[in-house]
Amino acid sequence: MDDHTGPVTVELWAVAAPLPRPVVTPAGTFDTYHHLVVRALNGDGVAGSGLAAGVTAGEIERCIERALALLGATGPGLAGLVDVEAIEDAGSVTPADRWSRWAACALSTAGWDLRARRAGVACADLWGRRPGAHALDAYASGFFLSTDLDGLEAEARRYREAGFRTVKARVGMALDDDLERLAVVRRHFPGSLDVAVDAVEAWDVDEALAFVAAAGPLRWVEDPVPYADFGSLVSRLPAGAAVVAAGESLTDRSELLALRTRDGIDAVLLDVQQVGGPARFLRAAEELAAAGARIGAHVFTPVSTQLLACIDEPLPVEVFDWSDALFTAAPAPGADGRLPVSGPGVGTELDLAAIGRLGALVHTEVR
């Protein structure tokens, strides 16, 4: 791809998107999702974008610091943005921390998005889309612990009416409470693989085993115990028990691979932000698939959809709505419950009016 298109203007925005209502998880209570939004514009007015996101403003402040350092060390134009993952991975420009990887992901994704839009194709077409991967199974991610039973009923009905065939619910309360809440969701999603659950490491091994035994068939049980206990849990699961999924919080490919080779995790969920960008996501996915793991993605629905279209037999795409306020139209499944893998770029458009209202431009430069 020819990236010699003249100067590229790069904008960094800090944007705080309020959630419709506070949500409670075992990891804490959140009412705002904070973003670094990167826009990359060429002289023809074509713009690409990339995101990083966290639950505190401080995380995004550190992410912006890392982004500025990376911009100062990368080459000019579009090629420099696309290459920022390699610059960050070398470890000589920014600290080897998660915020450096978040910044590299946002910058690199903006470069890839601009490159694909210039070519009039989806990012998946540049990354190696699998033949026939024009739409992917998807699941709605919600049902937080702050939602009461009536709210769960309404939420499940809303997802079913929106076309979803699969959902993921949060668990991590007392066993009887979790089972009661799960039963409400299953009224609308009764199939054996219609519901996944996420415990956010809330249980010990015995508690996780008790839930798995009582809950019946599930698509997967995500992060049921602290990561140090995965090997013990998997070794004690009975044959035919629910699949265990994990990986979204890890940044290092060797740690991700160990989930499969050491702990026996069958489903590995990669977070494009945590691993540091699309190229590193795809490298990690290739290594994990070769070791026999099924690959999924974590949040960042637009870019995750493009990435999973490049992977054999991916897990369903997580449709997570905390960033929806930034888009003119949020990602949504079709009538068949599947999410289109569409372009140009990552297939979504930023709502510039909303970004201006919710955020502030913190840096701009011409490269």
Contacts of 184 (CB under 8 A, 6+ apart): 149, 152, 153, 156
pLDDT digits (tens, 9 = 90+) for 268-305: 999 999 999 999 999 999 999 999 999 999 999 999 99
pLDDT digits (tens, 9 = 90+) for 303-335: 999 999 999 999 999 999 999 999 999 999 998
pLDDT the model gives residue 255: 97
Q: Is 124-340 in the same CATH topology as 8-120+351-366?
A: no
Among the four given CATH numbers 3.30.390.10, 3.30.200.20, 3.30.930.10, 1.10.10.10, the one describing domain 8-120+351-366: 3.30.390.10
Query: In the structure encoding, which two tokens stand for residue 110, read together?
Result: 């903006």
pLDDT the model gives residue 4: 59
Rounded to two decimals, the pTM is 0.96
Which residue stretches of the chain have pLDDT < 70? 1-5, 26-27
Residues in the chain: 367
Query: In the structure encoding, which two tokens stand for residue 156, read together?
Result: 């499940």
Give the pairing type, strands 135-142 and 338-340. Answer: antiparallel
Q: Are the CB atoms for 108 and 86 separated by under 8 Å?
A: no
27-37 burial by CB neighbour count: b if 16+ within 10 A, else e?
eeebeebbbbb
d(CA 307, CA 129): 8
Into which CATH architecture does domain 124-340 fall?
Alpha-Beta Barrel (3.20)
pLDDT the model gives residue 221: 98
Domain residue limits, the chain? 8-120+351-366, 124-340
Conformational region of residue 322, where left means phi above 0, alpha means psi within -120 to 50, and beta covers everything else: alpha
